[in-house]
Amino acid sequence: MPKLPIRLLPRLSLPGFSARTLAIGYVAVSLIVLAMFAGPLWFSWSTNVEQVRTELLQSDTHRLHQLYLRNGPEALAAAINAQTGTSYQGVGKLMLLIGPDGKKLAGNLDEWPVNVHGNSQPCAKRIMIDGQYQNVELTNGVLPGGYKLLIASSLNRFENLEAIFIYGLLGCAATVLMVAILGALLIRRVMLSKVDGISQTTTAIIAGKLSQRLPAPSQGDDLEMLTYTVNGMLDQIEHLVHSVQDVSNSIAHDLRTPLTELRTRLEELTVTRPPEAETYAEIDAAINDVDRVMAIFNALLRLAEIDSGTRRGGFVPVDLARLTAEVAEFYLPVAELNEISLTFEPLGMLQTEGDPLLLAQALGNLVENALKYAPAHGRIAITAQRCNEQLIQLTVADNGPGVPEHERARVVERFYRSDSSRGTPGVGLGLALVSSVARLHCGTLELQDNRPGLRAVLYLSVPRHATPSLA
């Protein structure tokens, strides 16, 4: 059976938001609401007026008919003249009593309308009144003895009231239209002023003035949240741009030294052509310079890999107590060689999930920093403990010179090196890698004063589904 082609329905597109569309929408909604109010009111008015007019005509007809039956035509004529007079004044009811001979006996109509015949229920007619045709609702009938009675009510009686209602409705519609136009112009002006401020700020940023920000909004401004969000985004962009600039400058500075040394060594070999043993020694030194450059690039690649978050896909159950013990055991010979006391104390159950290689490297970096700055016969204490069900704390504390409080926030930045560390090996990426590993595991790195020395605390989050038992 052949498949019928599927016809896709056209996508409905909403009109773009602008002052014009806002004004049109406001006018449309206002007119619809006005019509919903005026329509039922007009219908109720017309229906009730017509019903009341008909009931009054029927009531008058019945009353006058009974009066005629009780008291005769003279009493009926007197009652009609008393109610309407003998001529029509433009208001009130129209009545006419005709005798059997066709002569007028009472009422404010001069003659019987030519288009009214016999008996009739209330109906609309167009009759001549004082030389002019008017629309009326009338009822007429033939009384016993050949007398004829006509009672009518002018349909033009409420024309002035209806005209006032219509003019008022049109006035309301015109007012709504004017308010909508003025409101749209005001909104357009306010919106354009805010958009102009955003445009000026973005233009300045494009020109290189990264410190420019959107003006602070007034209290209750509709764009207050957007302004704070955009300014926050600009703060982050400025921070990232400055970070990239700092990293670029640091890379250029840290690569320049080994590359310069490498070029100098090779150039010296080319010019002096020393003996074979000395040549190989220079080659080994050149290889060390290349290794330093490669170490910098490997560290940057590792940081980029960590920051991307792709390593989370390889998380496995990890026993941090055992991992910390292995790191301490690995660095214990180095500590003994430098006459430094290295101790490790695990406290409690430390099962979690993470990347064991990255965690070991992060903890190793902290231990290496402690070994690098700890004095002879110094002390390094490694502890691992559980703060609560969702947090584990790894601590490396030494009694070295420590880090001044005003530099603790900066030493975790890439390539940053304090003045006291200029003479020690390294490129300033160790603590940056530890901080990135902590963020990868939804944790933080805190540097505290150990009095004396530095106390580096690595907080790591424990997933809720991770079992707390040791493997």
pTM: 0.47
Mean pLDDT over residues 142-165, rounded? 80
Same domain for 342 and 290?
no
State which of 141, 161, 181 marks the end of a domain.
Answer: 161
pLDDT at residue number 417: 66
Same domain for 303 and 333?
no
pLDDT of 470 over the 50 cut: no
pLDDT of 6 over the 50 cut: no
Between CA 270 and CA 274 the distance in angstroms is 9
471 part of a folded domain? no
pLDDT of 98 over the 80 cut: yes
Same domain for 109 and 69?
yes
Considering 212-226, 239-253, 305-319, 426-440, the range whose residues carry the highest mean pLDDT is: 426-440
- Tokens matching residue 21: 């569309």
Q: Write the DSSP symbol of residue 134.
A: E
Same domain for 294 and 362?
no
Mean pLDDT over residues 334-346, rounded? 87
Same domain for 290 and 316?
no
Same domain for 318 and 450?
yes
173 part of a folded domain? no
- Tokens matching residue 128: 């001549």
Handedness of CA 363, 364, 368, 371 (dihedral sign): positive
349 part of a folded domain? yes
pLDDT of 2 over the 60 cut: no
pLDDT at residue number 396: 92
170 part of a folded domain? no
Report the SS3 class of residue 404.
coil
270: domain CATH number? 1.10.287.130
Amino acid identity for residue 434 in this structure: V
Handedness of CA 70, 74, 77, 81 (dihedral sign): negative
250-259 contacts: CB < 8 A, separation 24 or more? Answer: 250/414, 250/415, 250/416, 250/428, 251/296, 251/300, 251/415, 253/415, 254/296, 254/415, 254/427, 254/428, 255/293, 255/296, 258/289, 258/290, 258/292, 258/293, 259/289, 259/293
pLDDT at residue number 465: 62
345: domain CATH number? 3.30.565.10
Same domain for 43 and 150?
yes
Report the number of distinct structural domains present in the chain: 3
Comparing 120 with 376, the larger pLDDT belongs to 376
12 part of a folded domain? no
Same domain for 349 and 246?
no
Mean pLDDT over residues 420-449, rounded? 77
With a pLDDT cut of 70, the percent of the chain lying above it is: 81
175 part of a folded domain? no
State which of 142, 161, 180 marks the end of a domain.
Answer: 161
State which of 276, 307, 338 marks the end of a domain.
Answer: 307
Q: Model confidence at 15, in pLDDT bands (50, 70, 90)?
A: low
The length of the chain is 471
Between CA 256 and CA 397 the distance in angstroms is 34
pLDDT of 104 over the 70 cut: yes
218 part of a folded domain? no
Q: Which domain holds residue 387?
A: 309-461
pLDDT of 4 over the 60 cut: no
Q: Are 384 and 346 in contact (CB under 8 A)?
A: yes
Place of tokens 């320049």: 256
Same domain for 146 and 40?
yes
Q: What are phi and psi of 63, to 5 degrees?
A: -65, -45
CA 35 to chain centre: 34
Lowest mean pLDDT among 2-11, 90-99, 153-162, 310-319: 2-11
Residue 431 CB partners (closer than 8 Å, separation 6+): 365, 369, 411, 412, 445
Between CA 57 and CA 144 the distance in angstroms is 20
281 part of a folded domain? yes
Report the relative pairing of strands 104-107 and 316-319 from DSSP bridges: unpaired
Q: Are 360 and 327 in contact (CB under 8 A)?
A: yes
Q: What is the dihedral of CA 80, 83, 88, 94, to 10 degrees?
A: -60
pLDDT of 450 over the 80 cut: yes
Same domain for 231 and 318?
no
pLDDT at residue number 150: 87
pLDDT at residue number 279: 81
pLDDT of 9 over the 50 cut: no
Same domain for 296 and 354?
no
107: domain CATH number? 3.30.450
Between CA 22 and CA 17 the distance in angstroms is 7
Comparing 72 with 122, the larger pLDDT belongs to 72
pLDDT at residue number 305: 67
Same domain for 332 and 258?
no
pLDDT tens column, 379-426: 999 998 888 888 888 999 998 888 888 887 777 777 666 655 555 566
Q: Model confidence at 274, in pLDDT bands (50, 70, 90)?
A: confident
